Amino acid sequence: MNDSPALPANPALAQGQPSSWRDWLSVYSVALGAFAFVTTEYLPVGVLPSISSSLGITDGVAGLMVTVPGIVAAIAAPAIMLGAGRMNRRQLLLLLTLLQLIANLVSAIAPSLPVMLLGRALLGVALGGFWAVAIAVAGRLVSESNAAKATALIFAGITLATVFGVPFGTFLGSLFSWRVSFAVAAALALLALIAQGLTLPSLPSRDGLQVRALLSFLARKNARRSMLLLGLVVAAHFSAYTYIAPFLGREAGYSTGAITSILLGFGLVGMLANFAMASGVARHLRASLGAVVLLMVIAQLALPQLQGAGVVLAVLAWGIAYGAIPLGVSTWMQLTSPQLPEASSAMLVTMFQVAIASGSLFGGWMVDHHGVPSALWLGAGIGMLGVAVMLSFGLGKAPIAEALQR
C-alpha cells in the first residue's frame, strides 16, 4: 500500500540522495517485525498436537488458534488504516509490535482455550494492522530507486519465518513445551520492537485510506473475482497445512524430531521456489501461478496414499508450490487495479487472512469428523476451484492488467 508517498521519511531521499546504512537498518527492523509476526501466526501449526493435549481439546478445535487471528486480522487491516487517519506510521508500527508482544505473553501463560484465543485475537489485531502499514512504509524508508528492494527485504522476513521460525518453534516445543515456544516468540517481538524504536524515522501521513477508495475497488467485477481467486488458493493451502503435524505424526508415523526436519525442508524449498519463480511470475503470471497451484493440489491428493520417503517428497513438492504462491497472488492483486493501490493492498491483506481463517476452520471440521487425511482432500478440492476461477480470466498472453480491465 502506497501510504502518502508525497511525504518521505527522509527529505534527502526525496531529493534523490542514495540510501544510507541507517535507512537500511530501518528496513531490516521492519523485516524483523515481519519475521516475528509470521513466526507467531504459524506457530500453532507445529505444536498443535501438544497444545490440544495440554488444554484437553481436539485437533480441530485447536485449529481455532489459526482461525481466530485470521478473522480478526481480516477486519483489522482496513479498520486500522481507516481509523488511524493521519497518525504517524512510526508510532503505529511500534504500537502494533507491542501488541504482538502482549499477545504472545497471553498465549504463553494461557490456562484454557478461551484465554489462548484471547491472545490469538490480540495477535490478529496487530497482524492485520502491521501488514497494512509495513508495505506502505518500505518505499519511504529508502530512496525511490531502492523501494522495490526494501519491499523484497520485508517479504524476505515472511520467507525466513516459514523456513526457520515455525520449525524452530516446533523444536522448542518438543524440547521444552509449547509455552516456551510462545515465550520465545514474545522475546522475538521485543527484539523487533527495540530495533524499530531505535531505527525507524518519523513517518508522517497526510492522507489515510479512504472509504470511497475501498468501495470503488469492490465495485469492480475483476477485483472481486481476483479476491475470490486469492481466497481459494490460500484457503486450499491452510485447510490442509494447519493439520500437517497431526498427519505426519499419526498417519505417517514420524517422530516429533522428524516432523521438525520435514517442516524445515518445506520452508527451505519454499524459500528457493520464491526466488526462483520471481522472474517467471513477472513474465508469465498466469502460467506460473496455475502451475504451482496444480502442483500443490497433486501433492495434497498424493499424501494420504504414500508412505515413508514418498510422504517427504510430496511435502517438499507442496513446499515448492506454496513458496511461489504468495508472490503470485500478491502480484495478481497489484495488477488488478493499479489505479487504487491503497485499496488493493488493504483488501489483499483482508482476503489473505479470511482465507487462512476459513481454510483452517473448515479443515478442522473435516479433521474432527472424518480424520486428518480428509483435510488434504478438502485442500485439493478448494485448489481446483481456484484453478477454475483463474481459467475464467482466459489463457491469453496479454498483460494481466489489460486483461482484467476489459
Q: Which residue's entry shows cell 491483506? A: 349
CA atoms within 13 A on the CB side of 338: 10
* CATH of the domain spanning 210-406: 1.20.1250.20
Of 4, 196, 194, 193, nearest to 81 by C-alpha is 4
- What pLDDT score was predicted for residue 197? 93
Segments making up each domain of the chain, as ranges: 10-209, 210-406
Better-predicted residue by pLDDT, 212 or 261? 261
- What pLDDT score was predicted for residue 122? 96
Say how far apart CA 75 and CA 146 lie, in whole Å: 31
Tell me the one-letter amino acid at 281: V
Radius of gyration of the chain (CA): 20
Say how far apart CA 325 and CA 323 lie, in whole Å: 6
* Through-space distance between the first and last CA atoms of the chain, rounded to whole angstroms: 24
DSSP 14-80: HTTPPPPHHHHHHHHHHHHHHHHHHHHHHHHHHHHHHHHHHHT--HHHHTHHHHHHHHHHHHHHHHH
Say how far apart CA 150 and CA 142 lie, in whole Å: 7
* Total-model pTM: 0.76
- What pLDDT score was predicted for residue 281? 67
H/E element holding 405? none
CB-CB contact of 161 with 114 (8 Å): no
Mean pLDDT rounded to a whole number for the chain? 83
User: How far is CA 291 from each of CA 7, 287, 304, 375, 385, rounded to the nearest angstrom?
Assistant: 40, 6, 22, 22, 14
| Mean pLDDT value of segment 232-241 | 94
- Please check whether the two domains, 10-209 and 210-406, share a CATH topology: yes
Residue 3 has pLDDT above 50, yes or no: no
Better-predicted residue by pLDDT, 119 or 403? 119
Of 381, 395, 360, nearest to 59 by C-alpha is 360
Helix (H, G, I), strand (E, B) or coil at 111: coil
Number of neighbours of residue 11 by Cβ within 10 angstroms: 9
- What pLDDT score was predicted for residue 12? 45
Tens-place pLDDT, residues 58-108: 888 888 998 899 889 888 888 887 777 778 888 999 999 999 999 999 999
Tens-place pLDDT, residues 203-219: 887 555 667 777 877 78
Residue 297 has pLDDT above 80, yes or no: yes
Tens-place pLDDT, residues 308-360: 899 999 999 999 998 888 878 877 877 777 666 667 777 888 888 889 889 98
Say how far apart CA 17 and CA 305 lie, in whole Å: 58
CA 149 distance to own-chain centroid: 19
Fold of domain 10-209: Growth Hormone; Chain: A; (1.20.1250)
CB-CB contact of 397 with 287 (8 Å): no
Residue 242 has pLDDT above 90, yes or no: no
Query: 331: which 3 cell numbers?
Result: 502480484
User: How far is CA 184 from each of CA 130, 157, 181, 300, rounded to the nearest angstrom?
Assistant: 20, 17, 5, 32
Tens-place pLDDT, residues 159-214: 778 777 777 887 888 888 899 999 999 999 999 999 999 998 888 875 556 677 77
Looking at the chain, the number of H-run helices and the number of E-run strands are 19, 0
